[in-house]
Amino acid sequence: MQNQVKENYTISGYFVFFLIGAPQAAAGILNFQSHVLRDAGQDSWISIILVGLSLHLIIWMIYKMLGNPAKDVIDLHRLIFGKLMGNAISLLLVGYYFIMALFYFRAYIEIIQVWVFPTVRTWAMAGLLICMIYYVVSGGFRVVAGFSFFYMALIPLLFLLYFPIRQGNIHQLLPVLNHSFLDLLKGAKSSSFIFFGLEALLIYFPFLKSPEKNVKWAHFALLFTTLKYTAMIIVTLMYFSQGLLKHTLWPTLAMSKIIELSFVARFEYFYIFMWLLVIIPTVCIPIWCCTRMMKRVAALQPRLSLPFILAALFIAALTVNERIQIDVLEKYINEIGFYFIFAYIPLLFIINTVALKLKSNVDKSFKDG
């Protein structure tokens, strides 16, 4: 295999738990509820479980087609579509990962502007964050992966759900399953965006040490995310009425506002600031993927491509400036992310399997003949 990753740049296979978990934790845990509720109402927690379970299949596919020997999607494209065509498709993926990074980046700046510093300029915030992203990504994949580990520091915040549960009403979850299966599937589609971030596995797969042995950690990560979001949505449904939820932009933050201890109030500030711990790896992983792909496809050194990509990110973040634009971006992202994960990856898997089958048949006939 060409471009084998050197041993000392690889990371332990179980780290995929954090690499998948961190971006999924960022993908709108603060405001996912209102999107999810639209179709499935109080049954939307079933929709989330449905998506979560179906994604295990996708992870299985990714591991199946990229493993043995470990390769990334660029190799796969070349293998299937030939060098020129494969590279072209890989370049399209650069755009995909860039838009992903842009969305999370812009969404976080928006939260800062709405909740904490209403007067802060977008460019100032974006510049500050971009300096940080540059520092992290220029440290290489190990640093990016290390960062994603530290989102575990936020897990204790989940226990703060106790406060809204105390105020909540379990009857708001009833009646269970009064939505049609089609509604549930629609809800599943609109809630699929909370699982975005796992498709970066396509790029960093060869950086994992003995990935096949550690496939369980990828599934654990997914399972953990599913459980987390299910718990969150159930608590949200218990706490808010559905009418109120439609008009609440960030339900998670609104729920955390009620927490008050003897020495601290306004907990949503902690949520927002601590969220940087998740946002940084969530933005850095796709950005790193972009530099990696540019290096592999266009032989562009990351030293050159990283400033270029970050400059593009900066400009793009400035152009998306209003709530409506961000909303449009979000809808757009949800669509292409959904089709990327649930259509493109299975398609690639099927083509790959067929191609392998054909190849082995050809080989066999060569041997026989």
Partner 1 sequence: MLSHVHKALKEISKSNDFLQTTIDIKDIRLHFSYYKTLISHEQFHHDLLSFFQLSNGEIENVHDLKALIPIEGIKVLSNVEEIVQSLAHGSIFIQMDPSLDEGLLVDIADLKLGHRGYNDTENEYSVIGPKVGFVENIDINLSLLRRGLVTEKLIFEQHIIGSLSKTRIVIAYLEDITNPQHVNTARQRLLDLEFDVLFETSLLEQLITDNSNSPFPLFMSSERLDRVMYSMLNGEVALLCDGSPIVITAPVNLFSFIISPEDYYLPWIMGSFFRLIRYFGIAFSILATSFYVAILTFHYTVIPRDLLGPIIESRSNVPFPPLLEVLFLEITIELLREAGSRLPTKVSQTLGIVGGIILGQAAVQAALTSNILLIIVSLSALASFTTPIFKMSNTIRFLRFPLIVLASLWGGLGIMIGLMLILGHLLRLKSLGSPYIVPLFPFRHKSFNDSFIRSSFTFLSHRLSFTRPLSKKRFTVQKNKDIGDDYNNE
Nearer to partner 1, 137 or 345 (CB): 137
Quick check: 136 binds partner 1 (CB under 8 A)?
yes
280 binds partner 1 (CB under 8 A): yes
Q: Counting contacts by CB under 8 A, is residue 289 touching partner 1?
A: no
- C-alpha distances out from residue 314 to 23, 124, 134, Å: 20, 10, 12
Among 79, 80, 132, 157, indicate the residue that binds partner 1 (CB under 8 A). 132
Per-residue x/- track, 5-34, partner 1 (CB under 8 A): ------xx-xx-------------------
Taking residue 150's Cβ as centre, other Cβ atoms within 10 Å add up to 14
Stretch that binds partner 1, among 27-35, 132-140, 170-178, 291-299 (CB under 8 A): 132-140
Residue 283 burial (C-beta neighbours within 10 Å; 0-12, 13-18, 19+): buried
Question: Would you state the structure tokens that stand for residue 37, as one six-digit string?
Answer: 């509720």
- Kindly tell me which residue out of 261, 324, 367, 368 binds partner 1, with binding defined by CB under 8 A: 261
What is the token pair recorded at 45?
């927690």
At 162 the three-state DSSP class reads helix
* Segment near partner 1 (CB under 8 A); pick from 44-52, 159-167, 188-196, 261-269: 261-269
Size of the residue set binding partner 1 (CB under 8 A): 35
Residue list 160-189, contact with partner 1 (CB under 8 A) = none
Packed helices 276-298 and 302-319: angle between N→C axes, nearest 10 degrees = 130
Can residue 224 be called a binding residue for partner 1 (CB under 8 A)?
no
Q: C-alpha distances in angstroms, 24 versus 50, 199, 243, 262?
A: 16, 11, 27, 33
Kindly write out the interface string for residues 78-117 of this chain, putting x where it contacts partner 1 by CB under 8 A and - elsewhere.
Answer: ----------------------------------x---xx
DSSP class of 11: B
β-bridge partners, 208:
11
Among 114, 143, 154, 329, binds partner 1 (CB under 8 A): 143
Shorter beta-carbon distance to partner 1: residue 79 or 143: 143
Given the complex with partner 1, which of 145 and 309 has the nearer CB atom? 145
Determine which residue in the list 69, 174, 263, 366 makes contact with partner 1, applying CB under 8 A: 263
CA angle 129, 155, 219 (to 5 degrees): 95
CA dist., res. 286 & res. 96, Å (int): 9
Helix axes 73-81, 83-111, angle to 10 degrees: 150
For residue 24, give the nearest of 223, 172, 251 by alpha carbon: 223
Binding residues vs partner 1 (CB under 8 A): 11-12, 14-15, 112, 116-117, 128-129, 132, 135-136, 139, 142-143, 145-147, 149-150, 260-266, 269-270, 272-274, 276-277, 280
